[in-house]
Amino acid sequence: MISEIFAVSASWSRSVIEFADGLDPWVQTVAEFGTDLLLVAFAVLFLAAWWRARSLGSRTVGLALFAPAATIIAYMVSRTIKAFFEQLRPCQAMTDLNTIATCDPIGDWSFPSNHAAIAGAAAAAIIITWHRMALPVAVLAVIEAFSRVLVGAHYPHDVTVGLVIGATVATLVSLALARPLTATVDRLSEFDRLRPLLRTEDAPRSDARAESPTPGSDTRV
């Protein structure tokens, strides 16, 4: 079963790489640089989620501030798993193809995709605190994952598993630490110099509105 999945994934990867090889040079350049720059968009969204969270309560602020850490944890999990499988990248295994990205040396393995894991984790961490951004950030994560296949760095199964690992790990660690994060933000908010970074003047101390909404109330999520 696993070999069949890999065969299908490899076939898809070959088709995508051959398609990419026929693209205009400027499109290939955009794809090569874009596959890394797309991750910067998540950093911008982290900042936006934190700034918005200041008006919603300590729990949301805590989770928003923890989002980068949750993403790093997911990346480390993905990297650890990668060391066990030692799967060659498409550009290493299919040397008859021209790939957009410069092929990494043997030892920089393919499964799962760390880029996809980062994208999946970042998207999940943002969605937890900003529900209305669910669709845009999910699309952004999928585009990032596909870009890794397009440039020849990963197989489709690499990026699919990477997305799942990233989203799962980030969600679990964020929710597991929600209470201590909330308490930490509450304590730090007692300091005058830190309070503007953690709470707006009209913000509730807790996220009671979001956790137990009343009819007609605005949870602003």
Return the pLDDT at 218.
Answer: 45
Whether residue 182 contacts residue 206, with contact meaning beta carbons closer than 8 Å, is answered with yes
Amino acid type, 139: V
Q: How many helices (H) and strands (E) does the chain have?
A: 10, 0
Q: Please state, in angstroms and rounded to a whole number, the distance separating the CA atoms of residues 19 and 127.
A: 33
Q: Please state, in angstroms and rounded to a whole number, the distance separating the CA atoms of residues 37 and 144.
A: 9
Residue boundaries of the structural domains of the chain? 41-201
Q: Give the residue, 46 or 218, on which the prediction is more confident.
A: 46
Average pLDDT, the chain: 88
3-state secondary structure (DSSP) of residue 174 = helix
- Residue 204, phi then psi, degrees to nearest 5: -70, 155
pLDDT-based confidence at residue 122 (cuts at 50, 70, 90): very high
Return the pLDDT at 1.
Answer: 73
pLDDT digits (tens, 9 = 90+) for 46-95: 999 999 999 888 999 999 999 999 999 999 999 999 989 889 899 888 88
Q: Please state, in angstroms and rounded to a whole number, the distance separating the CA atoms of residues 216 and 125.
A: 27
Q: Is the dihedral of CA 122, 125, 130, 136 positive or negative?
A: positive
Return the pLDDT at 219.
Answer: 42
Whether residue 61 contacts residue 54, with contact meaning beta carbons closer than 8 Å, is answered with yes
209 has a pLDDT exceeding 60: no
Residues in the chain: 221
Average pLDDT over residues 106-116: 91
Return the pLDDT at 214.
Answer: 41
List all residues 6 or more positions away from 181 whose beta carbon is below 8 Å from its beta carbon.
59, 62, 63, 65, 66
Q: Give the residue, 86 or 1, on which the prediction is more confident.
A: 86
Global confidence as pTM: 0.87
What whole-number percentage of the chain has pLDDT above 90?
62
pLDDT digits (tens, 9 = 90+) for 12-23: 999 999 999 888
Cis omega before residue 90 (within 30°)? no
